Amino acid sequence: MPEPVKAPKIGPYQLPSPAVLAPMAGVTDRPFRQLCRKMGAGLVVGEMVSSNPALRNTRKSQLRLNHHGEPAPIAVQIAGGDPQSMAEAAIFNAANGAQIIDINMGCPAKKVCNKAAGSALLKDEPLVKDIVNAVVEAVDVPVTLKIRTGWDTANRNGVKIAEIAEAAGIQSLAVHGRTRACGYTGQAEYETIKTVKQHISIPVFANGDITTARQAAEVMNFTQADGVLIGRAAQGRPWIFREINHYLATGGEELPAPSNAEVQQILLDHLNELYAFYGDFMGVRIARKHVSWYLQQQPDAKAFRSVFNRLDTDAEQIQAINKFFQEINKRDAA
C-alpha cells in the first residue's frame, strides 16, 4: 500500500487534506464552503472581501463575513492595495472570527486590478513587501498569500514575490499557473510553480486547470507542491475533493462517479442551504447558476435550464429538480 500524501500545516492548523477550495467571488459562500468541507476539502476559503471599511455594512459583505457554524480553521481572503487599510481589514476579520487571513494578489479581474489590487500588485514589488509585512504584523493569526506567476509572460516574477512573502512571515503560498495578463485563457503552466517551490520552504499550493484527481496528483508530483487549490472544477462537482483524497491515499485508484441519486441528494441539500442562508428571493436566484453547473454534463440540460431559470419559488425549483432526475432514471432504466 503506498504512503498517503501528507497534508501540510498552515500555522498551527494541520489540514486533513491537501486539496483546498479556492476563494471565488459569488461562489464560495457559506453553504458552498460547508458542502465542500463535507466532501473532503482540507480547507475552504471564503469569498474575497474588500479592505474598504465603507463596504463592510453592505448586505453582500455581511453575508460574506458570516462564518456561523463553520469548523476551524476559518479562512478569509482580503483584497486591497494599501498597506494600512489591508492591515486594518486583517484586524477586523480576525476579530470577526477569521483564523487564517489570505491576501489576494491573484485575481485578474479588471474591476479589482484597476484599483491596484489583486494581481495588479505583482507589478510593484516594494508595495507587495509593504502590504505583506503590514498584514503579518497586524494580526496574531496565520497570514497566507495567493499570487499568479507574474504580471505577464515577459515578467514572471513569482519567485521574487514568493521570497518576499516568506521573509515577511507568510505561512503558505498559493500560485495560479497563469500571469495577470493571461486572465483565465490559455493553459496553466506549472514550471514556475515548481521553481517557486524550490526557492521557499513554506507550503506551496498549485492552482490552475486542475479538473480531475489524476491531474491533481500529476501537478503535485511535477511541482512538488504541498497541495492543490481547486476553483472552477468544484462548481457543480464538490465531490472532486473526495476523489482527489482517495486517489492520493491509494496511489492512483480512481473513485467511481457519484450515482444520479447521490448527485440529486447533494444538489437538493445544497439548494435548501442556499434558501436558508439567503432567503427565498435571493436563494432562488443564486440557485440557478449552481443548478447549471451540476447538470452541465446531463443530456437535455440546456432545455431544462431555460425552463428552470424562469422559476420564481424554492418549491418550484425543488419540484423541477426532482422531476428532471425522475426522467433521467426512466431513461437509464429503458
Place of cell 419540484: 319
Distance CA(138)–CA(120), nearest Å, equals 23
* DSSP state for residue 211 in the 8-state scheme: -
C-alpha cell at 13: 492548523
Residue type, 261: A
Place of cell 480576525: 94
Q: What is the DSSP string of 257-281?
A: PPPHHHHHHHHHHHHHHHHHHH-HH
Distance CA(134)–CA(69), nearest Å, equals 30
Q: Are 143 and 98 in contact (CB under 8 A)?
A: no
Q: Are 103 and 146 in contact (CB under 8 A)?
A: yes
Strand partners, 19: 228
Distance CA(324)–CA(261), nearest Å, equals 12
Task: Confirm whether 36 is a catalytic residue.
Answer: no
> Per the residue annotation, which of 36, 107, 113, 182 is the catalytic one?
107
Q: Which residues participate in catalysis according to the annotation?
A: 107
